[in-house]
């Protein structure tokens, strides 16, 4: 088992996640590395092995472009736009540190900035429905400015959106997120109930939680309204939250195949303590800077794994299919490890 790193699992469990490359449920590269690719969500720490040398060959097809440089050598003459690959990742780091600083600080560290940019690109490419931002305490207006800077660099062709839910901010592609939630409503959607009064986790369906299903439907309507805005500028809005626990909603928004849920407002109370959990980690290699990007990390109780195996296999198949539609990421790997913790925070 390789070294472990800590990831925050919203809608899942906060666990020690094994570094990719370890033994697990499954780990295999996509069949076409040049075209394949991809939350605990929010910021993740670097981990896993470096991508192969096929990255350089795929950069020319990444589709990234930068604004034209200023005219040189006289009026009417412009130099060709330089691809992002030719300039390297430093402009992405500078954009994050400039717009996401809190107080008098310098902004997030370089590795966090690159992970953030990679995950934002994964959202834009439809590899994850949403990104929950928790690198620091930067607010939604700062995230909006950050997305505007990325678009100005030519890094993003699609318009992304900052969605405020409660006190949290998510970065979403309204189109991809809406499509994902529509599939959730069509169901069947499985949840794992970890309410503290019960002795062990149990599997239930979204149909058994009508308040949560209504909130998902409201989210779909909200995202559909955003798609009518054809402005290229980054935008933001607030999704009205209810008494429904946001932990489960975040798990659904972030694309976890089997989110956790619980009854009422139980805070950190659950029945996962000392329960063996199978933790799944999906990551890809970002060809621009040869950096492993964590797409998502979530867990399911090991006792529930046999009953959920088909659902998890369908999730994997869908992710691999989406990975094959883009050329910015390669070498998708999905691995798992069983862990047992004295306490688990959702």
- What is the pLDDT, as a whole number, of residue 76? 42
- What is the pLDDT, as a whole number, of residue 158? 86
What value does the mean pLDDT of the chain take?
A: 80
Bridge partners (DSSP) listed for residue 239: 165
- What is the pLDDT, as a whole number, of residue 85? 58
Q: What is the pLDDT of residues 250-281, one digit of tens each?
A: 999 999 999 999 986 655 689 999 999 999 99
Q: Which residue has the higher pLDDT, 333 or 44?
A: 333
Would you kindly state where each structural domain of the chain is located, as residue ranges? 4-69+83-339
- What is the pLDDT, as a whole number, of residue 273? 94
Q: What is the pLDDT of residues 283-341, one digit of tens each?
A: 999 999 999 999 999 999 999 999 999 999 999 999 999 999 999 999 999 999 999 99
Question: Residue 102: is its pLDDT beyond 70?
Answer: yes
The percentage of residues in the chain with a pLDDT greater than 70, rounded to a whole number, is 73
């Amino acid at each position: 088992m390789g070294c472990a790193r800590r990831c925050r699992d919203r809608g899942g469990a906060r666990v020690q996640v094994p570094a990719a490359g370890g033994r697990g449920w499954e780990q295999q590269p996509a069949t076409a590395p040049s075209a394949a690719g991809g939350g605990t969500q929010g910021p993740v720490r670097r981990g896993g092995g470096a991508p192969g040398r096929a990255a350089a060959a795929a950069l020319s097809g990444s589709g990234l472009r930068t604004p034209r440089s200023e005219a040189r050598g006289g009026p009417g003459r412009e130099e060709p736009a330089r691809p992002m690959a030719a300039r390297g990742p430093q402009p992405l780091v500078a954009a994050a540190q400039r717009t996401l600083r809190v107080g008098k600080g310098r902004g997030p560290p370089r590795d966090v900035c690159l992970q953030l940019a990679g995950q934002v690109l994964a959202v834009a490419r439809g590899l994850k429905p949403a990104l929950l931002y928790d690198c620091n305490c930067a607010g939604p207006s700062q995230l909006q400015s950050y997305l505007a800077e990325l678009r100005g660099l030519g890094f993003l062709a699609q318009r992304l959106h900052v969605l405020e839910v409660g006190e949290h901010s998510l970065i979403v592609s309204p189109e991809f997120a809406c499509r994902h939630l529509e599939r959730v409503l069509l169901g069947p959607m499985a949840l794992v109930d970890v309410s503290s009064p019960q002795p062990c986790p149990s599997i239930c369906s979204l149909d058994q939680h009508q308040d949560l299903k209504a909130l998902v439907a409201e989210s779909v309507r909200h995202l559909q309204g955003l798609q009518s805005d054809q402005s290229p500028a980054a935008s933001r809005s607030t999704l009205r939250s209810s008494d429904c626990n946001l932990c489960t909603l975040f798990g659904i928004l972030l694309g976890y195949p089997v989110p956790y849920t619980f009854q009422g407002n139980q805070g950190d109370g659950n029945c996962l303590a000392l329960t063996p959990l199978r933790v799944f980690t999906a990551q890809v290699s970002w060809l621009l800077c040869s950096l492993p990007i964590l797409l998502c990390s979530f867990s399911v109780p090991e006792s529930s794994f046999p009953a959920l195996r088909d659902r998890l296999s369908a999730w994997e198949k869908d992710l691999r299919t989406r990975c094959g539609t883009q050329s910015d990421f390669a070498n998708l790997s999905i691995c798992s490890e069983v862990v047992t913790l004295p306490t688990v925070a959702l």
